[in-house]
Amino acid sequence: MRKPCLLFAGLLGVAATLPACGGGGPKSPPAETDDDFPMPLASGRSPTPPMGWNSWNKFACNITDMFVRQIAQAIVDSGMKDAGYQYVNIDDCWSLAARDASGNLQADPVHFPNGIAPVADFVHSLGLKLGLYGDRGTETCGHRAGSQGYEMQDAMTMASWGVDYLKYDNCPDPGPNPGPIIEPSYETMRMQLDAAEQVVGHNIVFSVCAWSFYEWANRLGQLQRTTTDIKNTWVPDPNSTDAGSIITSVKTNLPLAAYGGPNHWNDPDMLEVGNSDNGAGTVTDVEYQSHFALWAIAAAPLIAGNDLRNMSATTKAILTNKEIVAINQDAFGLQGVQVKQVGEQSVWAKPLNGNGERAVVLLNEAAEAAPVTFRFDEIGLRGGAATVRDLQAQMDEGTFTDSFTALVSSHGTVTVKVVGSEPPRPRGMAYLSDLTPIYAANGLGPVERDTTNGSSDPGDGKPITIRGTPFMKGLGLSAPSAIIYRLGQKCTSFSAQVGVDDSSTGGVGTVRFQVIVDGEVLFDSQNLDGTMPAMPVNVDLTGKRRLKLLVTNADDGSSLDRASWADAKVECDP
């Protein structure tokens, strides 16, 4: 076997490959080509994560008509539009605290003397879309008029101005356990936007900004904030009580991966890339490159937050790297997950919309450069040969056997596309816990094979037990979880016994199991709690390509419910 290649991720993908790397290696068995890639793009308001720009992170309330036009023009002139950025989003402070005599929202006449409609017209004339900010409460976080009680009027006002995207905020602070209190106001606004869309004839993306994940937000919004506000710092500032940072956002967002997907993207908040340009902050270009790569692989909305009129060449190169943008916008629509963590180094992966294609980000959070390795079966491929392309450097690295290693700089990432072979299809009677899934998202550490999900470490579970009945085989998880297997159109049935595992603290917790086959929900347990016996599942798989096992938290507010797909198996052709 050839030695793995070492690639040094220096500043921004200026990657030096060692001379001895690349080359051949033993060939894998022939790939089975019955997966029918590429899959078509989903329909809907946001089939891929929204891309654009927002005023808040850098400019806060310093926004004017002229400034927004300059930014829109800069999106075109800088190549951002060409790279896929589309929304020009005006955040808080565009409006007055008071409504007019008819109860209408009013733009601040000093900053937007002609109102919002002409700004929208200008943005549209450039082939871009306009986003605006609103709030579910009596006032916005910046003390401007909120939409509470005015939802119908405000939705119609904004739609008639030409607004294509509404970020809907959560002030005044709703206090502890706010989910059930704030849900109805977000629900009302989505309904009113639906109605306004019918009148004006264009879509309005709803960005739910409720500072934390809620299942209802996932249903209502095309994107939903999973975190408190990001800050322009790599890790939290030790001298501040504010825990916000790039790393905080991406890690808070990670366990929710099973919920992300077309038209309901998890949003770890807007980008800070470039906001330390010209000495304005402490984040390095290497860290910004990592920030962007992690948002890309997490299928997070790519909403830039810097001064696009005045970007460094490096910032522009990060934001407009089309090969990294492509992994974010991939039509398979999966949120990448951390597939491996060893000390301060981790490997993040997601399947792409092509046979045997995976995107992989190697992250090094340590203070020193370190080698990071992944095996191809750890990213849901079979072992053997695969090609690797460095997406930061936009350079092919060659063909590798079984694994790939790169030296990753401190706080850096190496972002690669791997093209190998999908795992073999199941044959005969096969337990899922003996197969390689192409994707496995889990609320806490890895999905476990034949044990419960203990804590975050691999292999830390106990025997699977549901209401006292033990099971030798199965998959142990913590909701939310999504696991995908390929079937190769050669299987006939899936069966399992499902329930909250006895290992869930005292059997508490409520979850919902769904079996989704080629995009169609073929089994739905509805809510199961820890008092209910294992529920049998039997699903016909004849002629199907992909089996997705989804377990959600059933809106009960408690995350990390331990649950098991006990005895999970498929019957397939020999």
Catalytic residues: 169, 229
Q: Tell whether residue 377 is a contact of ligand GLA (CB under 6 A).
A: no
Q: Tell whether residue 91 is a contact of ligand GLA (CB under 6 A).
A: yes
Peptide bond into 236 cis (omega under 30): no
For residues 559 and 552, give the distance between their C-alpha atoms in angstroms, rounded to a whole number: 9
Q: Tell whether residue 206 is a contact of ligand GLA (CB under 6 A).
A: no
Q: Tell me whether residue 258 or residue 300 sits nearer to ligand GLA (CB atom).
A: 300
Nearest to 424 by CA among 31, 57, 103: 31
- Minimum distance, C-beta of residue 206 to ligand GLA, in the bound complex (Å): 15
- Residue 53's φ and ψ, nearest 5 degrees, are -145, 150
For residues 420 and 34, give the distance between their C-alpha atoms in angstroms, rounded to a whole number: 15
- Minimum distance, C-beta of residue 23 to ligand GLA, in the bound complex (Å): 48
41 CB neighbour count, 10 Å cutoff: 15
In the list 209, 304, 325, 528, the residue contacting ligand GLA (rule: CB under 6 A) is 209
Q: Tell me whether residue 7 or residue 209 sits nearer to ligand GLA (CB atom).
A: 209
For residues 503 and 384, give the distance between their C-alpha atoms in angstroms, rounded to a whole number: 37
Residues in the chain: 574
- Minimum distance, C-beta of residue 209 to ligand GLA, in the bound complex (Å): 5
Q: Tell me whether residue 210 or residue 308 sits nearer to ligand GLA (CB atom).
A: 210
Q: Tokens 């300059």 correspond to what residue?
A: 70
Nearest to 268 by CA among 205, 336, 212: 212
Q: Tell me whether residue 35 or residue 169 sits nearer to ligand GLA (CB atom).
A: 169
- Minimum distance, C-beta of residue 52 to ligand GLA, in the bound complex (Å): 14
Residues 129-168 as x/- pattern, contact with ligand GLA by CB under 6 A: ------------xx--------------------------
- Minimum distance, C-beta of residue 56 to ligand GLA, in the bound complex (Å): 5
DSSP string, 79-106: THHHHT--EEE--TTSB-SS--TTS---
Token digits for 295? 């948002």
Q: Tell whether residue 50 is a contact of ligand GLA (CB under 6 A).
A: no
**What letter does residue 468 receive in the DSSP assignment?**
T
Token digits for 147? 């939409």
Q: Which amino acid is at 161?
A: W
Q: Tell whether residue 304 is a contact of ligand GLA (CB under 6 A).
A: no
Q: Tell me whether residue 108 or residue 169 sits nearer to ligand GLA (CB atom).
A: 169
Q: Tell me whether residue 92 or residue 151 sits nearer to ligand GLA (CB atom).
A: 92
Q: Tell whether residue 65 is a contact of ligand GLA (CB under 6 A).
A: no
CB-neighbour burial class of residue 282 (10 A; exposed 0-12, middle 13-18, buried 19+):
exposed
In the list 229, 377, 518, 556, the residue contacting ligand GLA (rule: CB under 6 A) is 229
Q: Tell whether residue 56 is a contact of ligand GLA (CB under 6 A).
A: yes
Characterize the bridge pairing of strands 337-342 and 87-89.
Answer: unpaired
Q: Tell me whether residue 105 or residue 528 sits nearer to ligand GLA (CB atom).
A: 105
Q: Tell whether residue 287 is a contact of ligand GLA (CB under 6 A).
A: no
- Residue 87's φ and ψ, nearest 5 degrees, are -90, 135
- Minimum distance, C-beta of residue 63 to ligand GLA, in the bound complex (Å): 11
Nearest to 513 by CA among 542, 487, 559, 482: 482
Number of residues that bind ligand GLA (CB under 6 A): 8
In the list 65, 169, 402, 422, the residue contacting ligand GLA (rule: CB under 6 A) is 169
Residue nearest to ligand GLA (CB): 141
User: What separation in angstroms does the CA of 396 have from each of 133, 417, 490, 555?
Assistant: 42, 9, 34, 45
Token digits for 74? 């800069």
- Minimum distance, C-beta of residue 347 to ligand GLA, in the bound complex (Å): 30
Residues that bind ligand GLA (CB under 6 A): 56, 91-92, 141-142, 169, 209, 229
